[in-house]
């Protein structure tokens, strides 16, 4: 049973048992434009919720990606090194960024669900 | 996700005559040099860039400053502010030049054309107020600067630009690179030069603001023409090795450091009667302390402006001034300044990106060869 939550910085996090998978939303990839490189965190790094831990580079600019929940990085999406455009094509699928082991799974409870995130994006437009 | 490079405007941005067109085309408007400008359209920067290299792209550059310099001695008057040979510019010809400071820095870069009875100037949007004030202050009696705020400026760029426009303006195909003519395109009076900022063949077209939207729409209706925004304009000019004022050149950089000595007329260099001539002469004789170079980072990671450049494992020797990803190059690219001993093509250097050393090599400019109609 997996559950998807969203941040105000347009990251998504999918909680799946002991692991949390993190990426950016379709809205975010569309706003960034063509992604040409993703700088991913070191495996084993401990990050706090809200900490900048990856950078996504489009043709135009570099943007920080923040950890939606705190924890230890356990895996990064190595496919992005070969094909960063996965982020544009499948932002909430094959274009995921990294996985972490949440320190406190309850942290995710404070994030938005899908309906709340869509309402948030609408309110920003 | 947080964008680290966007700037916040101090006040409500100005509109170009094509603001409504940009929005109707789905342009994503951003503040730039005081104007609301489209950074991209729905196709995206990558597609717009590649379209310009393969067909023809239409850019709105109406934010740039246009003006005429009129009266006897206009060329000599402008030469008080620039090392460019303006008096030697033949009628119907355009030239790139630099306004220089007394200290030998670059006040702005500009295009000047000789229209026979007057000079026509195009300067950067971000500098136009300062430039025009500087020029006016230097003019003798009888020479007058006439600003042209009611004119739009469009750039049609790409290998298909000339053939695409030919049915509407057959005489324009005869213009050679940096030629300029007053003409009429499909009934619209226009001042057209064979020039641009992409490294491709093409035109820049100055026309009355009130005709701009209908004219731009008629160009976009031509087969193979697509709109392109500031994002593609920036990646195209960087691939072409062309400087962006405020990034790659400014009041601290000299023409010699910037590799723009070629803009100094031979007669002007001999005469040495332009602002900053002393610094230029000294740097030409002894070599400048630093030089503008091209850089190719290894791998795919771009290095952006202000990234420190280090000797391998060693000290900082300079800084990137423009950096990004080249869609036609298929990889990252940058320009910057380094100490002269490290400026030779092929030199291995390190770019300090977010605290990590990214290996890179000095590379010849342009990254993508120019395809001007010589």
Q: What is the pLDDT of residues B190-247, one digit of tens each?
A: 999 999 999 999 999 999 999 999 999 999 999 999 999 999 999 999 999 999 999 9
Could you tell me if B303 and B365 lie in one domain?
yes
Could you tell me if B319 and B219 lie in one domain?
no
Residue-range definition of the domain harbouring residue A23: 3-119
Determine, yes or no, domain membership for B106.
no
Number of domains in chain A: 1
Q: Which chain B residue has its CA at the smallest distance from A7's CA?
A: B1
Cis-peptide, bond into residue B366, ω within 30° of zero = yes
Q: Which chain A residue has its CA at the smallest distance from B28's CA?
A: A31
* Average pLDDT along chain B: 96
- Give the pLDDT of residue A76: 98
Q: What is the pLDDT of residues A42-66, one digit of tens each?
A: 999 999 999 999 999 999 899 999 9
Question: Which DSSP helix (H) or strand (E) runs through B114?
Answer: strand B106-114
* Average pLDDT along chain A: 94
- Give the pLDDT of residue B5: 42
Binary contact (B301, A59; C-beta < 8 A): no
- Give the pLDDT of residue B10: 60
Could you tell me if B295 and B188 lie in one domain?
no
| For range B11-21, the mean pLDDT | 94
Q: What is the pLDDT of residues B86-131, one digit of tens each?
A: 999 999 999 999 999 999 999 999 999 999 999 999 999 999 999 9
Determine, yes or no, domain membership for B169.
yes
- Measured between beta carbons, the chain A residues lying within 8 angstroms of B1 are 9-11, 24, 28, 31-32, 56, 63-66
- How far away is chain B from the Cα of A115, in angstroms, using its nearest Cα? 19
Determine, yes or no, domain membership for B161.
yes
Could you tell me if B199 and B298 lie in one domain?
no
Report how far Cα A43 is from the mean position of its chain's Cα atoms. Answer: 16
Q: Which comes out higher in pLDDT, residue B244 or A18? A: B244
Could you tell me if B302 and B193 lie in one domain?
no
- Is the per-residue pLDDT at B6 higher than 70? no
Phi first, then psi: what are they for A20, rounded to 5°?
A: -120, 125
Determine, yes or no, domain membership for B30.
yes
Determine, yes or no, domain membership for A32.
yes
How many CB atoms within 10 Å of residue B299?
A: 12
- Measured between beta carbons, the chain B residues lying within 8 angstroms of A10 are 1
The CATH number of the domain holding residue A34 is: 2.40.50.100
Compare CB distances from A59 to B4, B46, B354 and report the shortest one's residue. B46
* Token pair of B124 as six digits: 């950067």
| Residue B327 Cα distances to A88, B49, B233, angstroms | 16, 7, 12
Determine, yes or no, domain membership for A124.
no
- Is residue B302 within 8 Å of residue B363, measured between CB atoms? no
Could you tell me if B194 and B318 lie in one domain?
no
Q: H helices then E strands: how many in chain B? A: 9, 20
ipTM rounded to 2 decimals: 0.90
Could you tell me if B199 and B322 lie in one domain?
no
Could you tell me if B157 and B235 lie in one domain?
yes
Which residue out of A6, A60, A79 would a mutagenesis test of the B interface target, given it has the greatest number of B Cβ atoms within 10 Å? A60
How far apart (Å, rounded) are the C-alpha atoms in residues A6 and A108?
A: 9
Report how far Cα B22 is from the mean position of its chain's Cα atoms. Answer: 21
Number of domains in chain B: 2
Torsion B104-B106-B107-B111 (CA) sign: positive
The CATH number of the domain holding residue B368 is: 2.40.30.110
* A9 Cβ under 8 Å from any chain B Cβ: yes
- Is the per-residue pLDDT at B26 higher than 60? yes
Question: Which DSSP helix (H) or strand (E) runs through B93?
Answer: strand B93-100
- Is the per-residue pLDDT at B1 higher than 60? no
Residue-range definition of the domain harbouring residue B338: 289-374
How many CB atoms within 10 Å of residue B86?
A: 23
């Amino acid at each position: 049973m997996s559950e998807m939550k969203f941040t105000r910085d347009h990251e998504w996090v999918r909680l799946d048992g002991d692991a949390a998978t993190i990426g950016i939303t379709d809205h975010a990839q569309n706003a960034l434009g063509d992604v040409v490189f993703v700088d991913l965190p070191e495996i084993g790094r401990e990050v706090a919720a809200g900490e900048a831990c990856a950078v996504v580079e489009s043709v135009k600019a570099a943007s920080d990606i923040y950890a939606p929940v705190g924890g230890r990085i356990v895996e990064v999406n190595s496919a992005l090194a070969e094909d960063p455009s996965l982020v544009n094509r499948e932002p909430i699928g094959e274009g995921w960024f990294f996985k972490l082991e949440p320190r406190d799974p309850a942290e995710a409870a404070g994030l938005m669900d899908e309906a709340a995130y869509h309402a948030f994006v609408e309110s920003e437009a | 996700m947080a964008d680290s490079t966007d700037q916040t405007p101090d006040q409500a941005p100005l509109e170009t005559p094509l603001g409504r067109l940009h929005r109707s085309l789905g342009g994503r408007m951003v503040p730039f040099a005081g104007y609301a400008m489209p950074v991209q359209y729905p196709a995206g920067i990558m597609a717009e860039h590649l379209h310009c290299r393969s067909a023809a792209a239409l850019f709105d550059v109406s934010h740039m400053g246009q003006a005429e310099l009129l009266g006897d001695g206009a060329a000599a008057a402008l030469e008080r502010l620039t090392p460019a040979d303006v008096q030697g510019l033949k009628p119907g010809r355009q030239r790139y030049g630099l306004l220089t400071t007394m200290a030998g820095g670059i006040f702005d870069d500009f295009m000047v054309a000789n229209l026979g009875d007057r000079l026509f100037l195009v300067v950067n949007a971000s500098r136009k107020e300062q430039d025009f004030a500087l020029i006016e202050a230097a003019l003798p009696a009888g020479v007058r600067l006439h600003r042209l705020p009611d004119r739009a400026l469009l750039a049609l760029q790409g290998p298909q630009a000339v053939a695409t426009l030919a049915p509407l303006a057959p005489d324009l195909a005869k213009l050679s690179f940096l030629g300029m003519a007053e003409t009429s395109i499909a009934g619209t009076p226009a001042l057209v030069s064979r020039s641009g900022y992409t490294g491709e063949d093409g035109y820049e077209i100055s026309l009355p603001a009130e005709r701009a939207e209908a004219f731009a729409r008629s160009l976009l209706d031509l087969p193979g023409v697509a709109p392109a925004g500031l994002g593609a304009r920036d990646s195209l000019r960087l691939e072409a090795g062309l400087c962006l004022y405020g990034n790659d050149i400014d009041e601290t950089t000299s023409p010699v450091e910037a590799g723009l000595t070629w803009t100094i007329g031979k007669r002007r260099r001999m005469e040495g009667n332009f602002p900053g001539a002393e610094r230029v002469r000294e740097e030409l004789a002894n070599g400048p302390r630093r030089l503008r170079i091209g850089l190719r980072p290894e791998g795919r990671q771009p290095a952006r402006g202000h990234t420190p450049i280090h000797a391998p494992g060693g000290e900082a020797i300079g800084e990137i001034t423009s950096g990004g990803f080249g869609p036609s190059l298929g990889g990252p690219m940058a320009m910057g300044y380094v100490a002269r001993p490290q400026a030779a093509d092929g030199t291995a250097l390190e770019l300090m990106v977010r605290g990590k050393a990214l290996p890179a090599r000095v590379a010849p400019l342009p990254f993508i060869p120019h395809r001007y109609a010589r």
